[in-house]
Amino acid sequence: MSRQSLSLLKNLGRITSRSGIQTRSVTYMPRPGDGKPRPVTLIPGDGIGPLVTNAVEQVMEAMHAPVYFEPFDVHGDMKSLPEGLLESIKKNKVCLKGGLKTPVGGGVSSLNVNLRKELDLFASLVNCFNLPGLASRHENVDIVVIRENTEGEYAGLEHEVVPGVVESLKVITKFCSERIAKYAFEYAYLNNRKKVTAVHKANIMKLADGLFLESCQEVAKKYPSIAYNEIIVDNCCMQLVARPEQFDVMVTPNLYGNLVANTAAGIAGGTGVMPGGNVGADYAVFEQGASAGNVGKDTTEEQKNANPVALLLSSAMMLRHLQFPSFADRLETSVKRVIAEGKCRTEDLGGNSTTQEVVDAVIANLD
Amino acid sequence: MARRSGSILSRLLANPPPSPFTAPTRSITYMPRPGDGAPRTVTLIPGDGIGPLVTGAVEQVMEAMHAPVHFERYEVRGNMRKVPEEVIESVKRNKVCLKGGLATPVGGGVSSLNMQLRKELDIFASLVNCINVPGLVTRHENVDIVVIRENTEGEYSGLEHEVVPGVVESLKVITKFCSERIARYAFEYAYLNNRKKVTAVHKANIMKLADGLFLESCREVAKNYPAITYNEIIVDNCCMQLVAKPEQFDVMVTPNLYGNLVANTAAGIAGGTGVMPGGNVGAEHAIFEQGASAGNVGNDKMVEQKKANPVALLLSSAMMLRHLRFPTFADRLETAVKQVIQEGKWRTKDLGGDCTTQEVVDAIEMASNSDARPLPKFGDWDVNDPATAEGFTVIFSKAGEDKKTGRSTSKTTSQRKQDAKPAVKKWLCFTFS
């Protein structure tokens, strides 16, 4: 009996002694057969992409998570997505990717955007929140930015009317606006969020953003317990840096969502730590939350000190999506412990560890 | 001799004790050309919401300083169909306009009058200087960013149509002509103001042709200014860098929409849109308004309680005074405003205080009139040492005399309302030409 109580005591000591981060004490009851390993398409990408996706692979292996990866070699300067890639994703339904570097200038269109359009991943979600132990200039930040992913300014329809004059089309449809609004309210409802804010510039772009706002207002009527308000995007940017605690869930069209997500990620600790993903009716692609197309600088790649935290937290979201919640909890707890302890931090968080050191710390902290 | 020392004492005691912010007045004397003192007329558009409140503040301070500026006021409301003809004529005549915000209704029907004014007068550059104000604590230090934003085209062309019900297309137009002139303006600004770096903000990885054209123009102009560093940044990364490391930015040149967002973000990190000065300028005309978020007319509560922050418009009117070639007045006004903010006693709600607009204006007027004698606070002298009270007696009797003869420079509100005569009559040394 004393042997039992000894091991019990040891377990208790272990859980509470690690920087106060508690493991969740809920037991999940899986269905028979849920433990079967799931294949996930993996796109390492360019720049720091291979480094951080490799970090995820290592951690998954260490956890013995029932996930195995099918890697595909894609680079940002390819003309179009490779043959087997789309089929693989359609089969697996889930994909994890690093960034694809889109060349600036004419010629090649963005493969990140192509992927989202082909798979109709219409919602992009970034959760920007203060991590315990990571000091930032803003407190009480917990914002989820839900951004329409397929239309808007990113339609890619441009033409040169006469030499020296270019027109770029921003397309807003009721269909897309409605479904992103529905997704945002549904997200708020399922995650016990109190407020949804629509970000727009309808005083200038009256028809386009006006249509977006109408759709949001209609959906808001169906969720009377969730507060709904609207904010013009320039005021929004200013409020984000002045009083970020007023925002909860934000639903935005494509371009504003990009900017708002990056700003919110920046105030909460940086794009190196915020998790996020893209989801559609049938498929989901998980990548670094904000600034997903960012492939880092050459020095980051050489010195191998890219921050793997964002992709690790996104892969925890992926594990939940695949119905493996206890693995997701373990991974998140471990990552948060490593950040709270503050000993292993990459350059963007103020430390000087390499990616590998952070990964080793995360693996060591897994229970 | 005791009498003389009494007056010396009174003069010494009359000067306010040196505040921690030793506001250094610039020691350069400006040599004006003969006739430069002629009062200039400026079109004034009070606008909606808090607009009349803050433009009223500017008028009061101008009067208190005896600045050679005379305002032609025009009533324009945001829900008018278009800007009245006479207003445009007035601005074309005067070349300079000062305005409060015009509230643009959300939704279809009425187009933005702020935009219309800028397009008609071809005011293509909007400038916001976002800088930490000494004494105003913010989360970010070392912020000194000037955002130069193209004002006439881009996403704000206002060209939208509904293709089929439920599908809307909005045109973003970028032309080489406009991109080139805004780039030229930005580099010229940097050159004239001894700035080291110009950063172009874009999203050319997605909008390759449109923002690509903008970037090409910037690059071409950059070649003509080899002493100024030029770099480019994608707008989403830019937003993140602004909140993480704002000290890396100096001058930023942007197309219309990004400029709006970047300016508001930069204003927010440096202290709020209530204090940043800015203006719009074209080849021939200039309009001065609150720097960032110029269309913001405040909320109803702010209008009722009269607690809008007049600092931004006051600093913009200082820019206007420089534009009109009255640099001494501009310096006095800016110094007074900065002193008031530094002292921290008179701040409106957005800066963490609880004053009304009028209280801030009074404080600024007091600070800007260096020959005004403030009344001493009771209890400042040592009761046990009668000598310290002597100076005060002189001041009190002087103040009493001034009141009797009506020559005092500091007025009560009622007095100010009473003599709302045209400012012309008070100036004895200026003549109309």
**Please, are residues B256 and B153 in contact by the beta-carbon 8 Å criterion?**
yes
Q: What local confidence, expressed as pLDDT, does residue A245 receive?
A: 92
Which secondary structure element, helix H or strand E, spans residue B223, and what is its range?
A: helix B208-223
**Among A1-5, A81-85, A196-200, which stretch is predicted with the lowest mean pLDDT?**
A1-5
pLDDT tier at A108, thresholds 50, 70, 90: low
pLDDT at B427 exceeding the cut of 70: no
**Please, are residues B149 and B106 in contact by the beta-carbon 8 Å criterion?**
no
DSSP code string of B298-365: --HHHHHHT----HHHHHHHHHHHHHTT-HHHHHHHHHHHHHHHHH-SS--GGGT----HHHHHHHHH
| Torsion-angle region of A259 (φ positive above 0: left; ψ -120 to 50: alpha; else: beta) | alpha
Smallest Cα–Cα separation from A335: which of A304, A363, A300? A363
Q: What local confidence, expressed as pLDDT, does residue B29 receive?
A: 59
| Of B206, B210, B257, Cβ closest to residue A154 | B206
Q: What local confidence, expressed as pLDDT, does residue B378 receive?
A: 42
- On chain A, the residues whose CB falls within 8 A of the CB of B239 are 237, 259, 262-263, 266
**Please, are residues B179 and B151 in contact by the beta-carbon 8 Å criterion?**
no
pLDDT at A69 exceeding the cut of 60: yes
Question: How far is A171 from A169, CA to CA, in rounded Å?
Answer: 6
- C-beta atoms of A238 and B272 within 8 A: yes
* Coil/strand/helix, residue B275: coil
| Of A106, A169, A240, Cβ closest to residue B171 | A169
For residue A165, list its beta bridge partners: A162, B175
Comparison of pLDDT for B268 and B66, the residue scoring more: B268
- C-beta atoms of B236 and A262 within 8 A: yes
Q: What local confidence, expressed as pLDDT, does residue A175 receive?
A: 93
- For the segment B398-404, the average pLDDT, to the nearest whole number, is 62
- C-beta atoms of A291 and B207 within 8 A: no
pLDDT tier at A238, thresholds 50, 70, 90: very high
Longest CA–CA span in chain B (Å) reads 94
pLDDT at B27 exceeding the cut of 50: no
Which secondary structure element, helix H or strand E, spans residue A161, and what is its range?
A: strand A158-162
Q: What local confidence, expressed as pLDDT, does residue B26 receive?
A: 42
Question: In CATH terms, are B35-126+276-433 and B139-270 the same topology?
Answer: yes
- B382–A contact, CB cutoff 8 A: no
Q: What local confidence, expressed as pLDDT, does residue A320 receive?
A: 85
Q: What is the share, in percent, of chain B residues with pLDDT greater than 90? A: 33
Please list the alpha-helical segments (H only) found in chain A.
Answer: 2-17, 49-63, 83-92, 111-118, 174-190, 206-221, 233-242, 254-268, 298-303, 309-321, 325-341, 355-364
Burial state string for B277-312 with b = 16 or more CB within 10 A and e = fewer than 16: bbbbbbeebbbbbbbbbbbbbbeeebbeeebbbbbb
Most trustworthy range by pLDDT among B160-169, B372-381, B404-413: B160-169
- For the segment B414-425, the average pLDDT, to the nearest whole number, is 47
Q: What local confidence, expressed as pLDDT, does residue B86 receive?
A: 92
Q: What local confidence, expressed as pLDDT, does residue B3 receive?
A: 54
Two tokens at A223? 């969720």
- On chain A, the residues whose CB falls within 8 A of the CB of B274 are none
Neighbours of A332 (CB within 10 A): 21
**Among A179-183, B144-148, B183-187, B419-423, which stretch is predicted with the lowest mean pLDDT?**
B419-423
CATH H superfamily, domain B35-126+276-433: Isopropylmalate Dehydrogenase (3.40.718.10)
**Among A48-57, A285-294, B128-137, B278-287, which stretch is predicted with the lowest mean pLDDT?**
A285-294
Smallest Cα–Cα separation from A110: which of A84, A85, A75, A86? A75
- For the segment A253-268, the average pLDDT, to the nearest whole number, is 92
Q: What local confidence, expressed as pLDDT, does residue A3 receive?
A: 52
**Model confidence pTM above 0.80:** no
Q: What local confidence, expressed as pLDDT, does residue B421 receive?
A: 45
Q: What local confidence, expressed as pLDDT, does residue A28 receive?
A: 60
pLDDT at B409 exceeding the cut of 50: no
How far apart, in Å, do the first and last CA atoms of chain A sit?
24
- Compute the CA torsion angle A88, A90, A95, A97 (nearest 10 deg): 70
pLDDT tier at A90, thresholds 50, 70, 90: very high
**Please, are residues B408 and B46 in contact by the beta-carbon 8 Å criterion?**
no
In chain A, DSSP finds a helix count (H) and a strand count (E) of: 12, 12
Question: How far is A251 from B278, CA to CA, in rounded Å?
Answer: 31
pLDDT at A317 exceeding the cut of 50: yes
**Please, are residues A52 and A362 in contact by the beta-carbon 8 Å criterion?**
no
- For the segment B10-24, the average pLDDT, to the nearest whole number, is 45
pLDDT at B368 exceeding the cut of 90: no
Min Cα–Cα distance to chain A from B175, Å: 4
- For the segment A196-216, the average pLDDT, to the nearest whole number, is 93
Give the long-range contacts of residues B160-164, CB within 8 A, separation 24 or more.
B160/A205, B160/A206, B160/A207, B160/A208, B161/A207, B162/A207
| Of A107, A160, A168, Cβ closest to residue B172 | A168
Smallest Cα–Cα separation from B104: which of B181, B61, B42, B156? B156
Q: What local confidence, expressed as pLDDT, does residue A111 receive?
A: 85
- For the segment B148-164, the average pLDDT, to the nearest whole number, is 87
User: What are the φ/ψ torsions at residue A321 (nearest 5 degrees)?
Assistant: -60, -35
Comparison of pLDDT for B411 and A91, the residue scoring more: A91
pLDDT at B377 exceeding the cut of 70: no
Q: What local confidence, expressed as pLDDT, does residue B34 receive?
A: 67
Q: What local confidence, expressed as pLDDT, does residue B398 receive?
A: 57
- C-beta atoms of A238 and B260 within 8 A: no
Min Cα–Cα distance to chain B from A54, Å: 24
Q: What local confidence, expressed as pLDDT, does residue B202 receive?
A: 94
- B167–A contact, CB cutoff 8 A: yes
**Please, are residues B96 and B320 in contact by the beta-carbon 8 Å criterion?**
yes
| Of A159, A204, A266, Cβ closest to residue B240 | A266
Q: What local confidence, expressed as pLDDT, does residue A7 receive?
A: 47
Comparison of pLDDT for B9 and A40, the residue scoring more: A40
Question: How far is A199 from B340, CA to CA, in rounded Å?
Answer: 35
**Please, are residues B226 and A256 in contact by the beta-carbon 8 Å criterion?**
no
Q: Structural domain boundaries of chain B?
A: 35-126+276-433, 139-270
Question: How far is B190 from A73, CA to CA, in rounded Å?
Answer: 45
Smallest Cα–Cα separation from A252: which of A330, A354, A176, A314? A176
pLDDT at B25 exceeding the cut of 50: no
Q: What local confidence, expressed as pLDDT, does residue B91 receive?
A: 93
- On chain B, the residues whose CB falls within 8 A of the CB of A205 are 155, 160, 170
Q: What local confidence, expressed as pLDDT, does residue B372 receive?
A: 45
- B235–A contact, CB cutoff 8 A: yes
Topology of the domain comprising B139-270 = Isopropylmalate Dehydrogenase (3.40.718)
Min Cα–Cα distance to chain B from A328, Å: 28
- C-beta atoms of B160 and A259 within 8 A: no
Question: How far is B423 from B419, CA to CA, in rounded Å?
Answer: 10
- C-beta atoms of B268 and A205 within 8 A: no
User: What are the φ/ψ torsions at residue A156 (nearest 5 degrees)?
Assistant: 75, 15
- C-beta atoms of A102 and B205 within 8 A: yes
Comparison of pLDDT for B418 and B52, the residue scoring more: B52
How far apart, in Å, do the first and last CA atoms of chain B sit?
50
Q: Mean pLDDT for chain B?
A: 79
Domains and CATH numbers, chain A: 35-102+110-126+273-366 (3.40.718.10), 137-268 (3.40.718.10)
Min Cα–Cα distance to chain B from A153, Å: 8
Place of tokens 């102009």: B221
pLDDT tier at B23, thresholds 50, 70, 90: very low
- C-beta atoms of A207 and B160 within 8 A: yes
- For the segment B207-215, the average pLDDT, to the nearest whole number, is 93
Q: What is the share, in percent, of chain B residues with pLDDT greater than 70? A: 76
- For the segment B221-229, the average pLDDT, to the nearest whole number, is 92
pLDDT tier at B426, thresholds 50, 70, 90: very low
DSSP code string of B124-178: -EEEEEEEPPTT---S--S-EEEEEEE-SSBGGG--EEEEETTEEEEEEEEEHHH
- C-beta atoms of A206 and B108 within 8 A: yes
